[in-house]
Structure 1
């Protein structure tokens, strides 16, 4: 069984808290890499073997992802098995779209967002926009 360890920067910060959406992205990545649907216990074991991450936190995260339509689930006895609907990048893009849709002054938000991009990300964004214009 392969296990996916988060990269050092993906672990909880010094105060023990993850960045918003970080655990969801890690869970989706685990599900994308799996050969089939996983139970919450299997997700937890792949995310944080022997670590402090609780089973109930994983169940809550999976339930929220299911409610958002980001994962599918199927009954397996009294529990559920979960599978990915989209990858972590799709999940982040969806979250960004929801946040943007909730803001009445989208132009200002987009202008400020672009202003925070580093040179590499700005080049990527410009290239993507050129692709869409063609």
Structure 2
């Protein structure tokens, strides 16, 4: 899984908020990027997201319906793994992270690590 560009992230936000798989037109109508986008631009972004493994698609008549392959939280966790993998020194990165997070987030981590065993 690769990182998302700005438009890809905006499209994924629409997909994560959708209750059911959505067509390109529905994504386009819900996108709030502050600029006017063409249908073909959103189609290209969704095709790229499909190729990258971020979305699945299924035919519905003559058009595809798209849905995320993982939850927003699962995607964020995978990206964190990638950051650690490319950091050069995951221990240093984790140490910096642990000292910089809020007390509430630190408690969430402590709880998760205790439950892990």
Which consecutive segments of 4 or more residues in structure 1 shift more than 4 A?
Answer: 20-26
SS in 2 for 1:120: helix
Could you tell me how far apart the structure 1 residues matched to 2:43 and 2:93 are? 33
More helix, by proportion:
2
Give the aligned CA root-mean-square deviation in angstroms. Answer: 2.7
Q: CA deviation at 1:124?
A: 0.9
Q: Which has the higher relative contact order, 1 or 2, with Cα contacts under 8 A spaced 6 or more apart? A: 2
Contact 1:25/1:88 (<8 A) preserved: no
Give the gaps of 5 or more residues in structure 1.
Answer: 1-19
Give the gaps of 5 or more residues in structure 2.
Answer: none
Q: CA deviation at 1:24?
A: 4.3
Matched, 1:30 2:14: yes
Q: CA deviation at 1:26?
A: 4.7
Query: What is the number of equivalent residue pairs in this alignment?
Result: 112
